[in-house]
Amino acid sequence: MSQTTLGDDELFGEAAAEMRDDVEEHLAATRAELPDADEVWETDADNVLGVLNGLRSALDVGEAEEHLRQAKKWYTMGERADAFEDAADLAAAIEDLDVLIETIRDAHDDVSDLTNAVPELRGSLEGLGEDEAEDGAEDEDEAEE
């Protein structure tokens, strides 16, 4: 084996280790950006709309998607270059985080829909109460005549 090949192998090994480190760092950054379980569960709101607004804010994934994208990019490069000896743990972590982020995004969308629907529902219910009060007043007026 020539000296150049040995040097190339060492460089490739270093590059592979750096790629794995990059993937792991981006996975850690992804996890750090995800909402804390207590933020999603606990609330200090006084009404339903406050709860929904707080939950919607808590379900923000921040830069998690971008960090996961970077992890996927470096993982894909490492896999295609056959740089990883065993990357099953990285693939599983990427998949788990991908599913979790999608679940959080779906929940965020559902909460956003409710945040828009609840005030409309309240307004409709209040309008219904006002209509009933007006109907009752009209019935009393008719009865007095």
Task: Give residue 130's pLDDT.
Answer: 76
Task: Give residue 67's pLDDT.
Answer: 98
- Domain count for the chain: 1
CA distance 129 to 113: 24
| pLDDT one-digit tens code per residue, 45-73 | 999 999 999 999 999 999 999 999 999 99
* For residue 2, pLDDT beyond 50: no
DSSP letters of 61-125? -TTHHHHHHHHHHHHHHHHHTT--S--HHHHHHHHHHHHHHHHHHHHHHHHHHHHHHHHHHHHHH
The structure tokens listed for 133 are: 């009060």
| pLDDT one-digit tens code per residue, 82-130 | 888 889 999 999 999 999 999 999 999 999 999 999 999 999 999 987 7
DSSP letters of 7-65? HHHHHHHHHHHHHHHHHHHHHHHHHHHSPPHHHHH----SSHHHHHHHHHHHT--TTHH
* For residue 1, pLDDT beyond 60: no
Domain that holds residue 124: 3-144
Task: Give residue 140's pLDDT.
Answer: 64
- In the block, tokens 């609840």 appear at 118
CA distance 3 to 8: 9
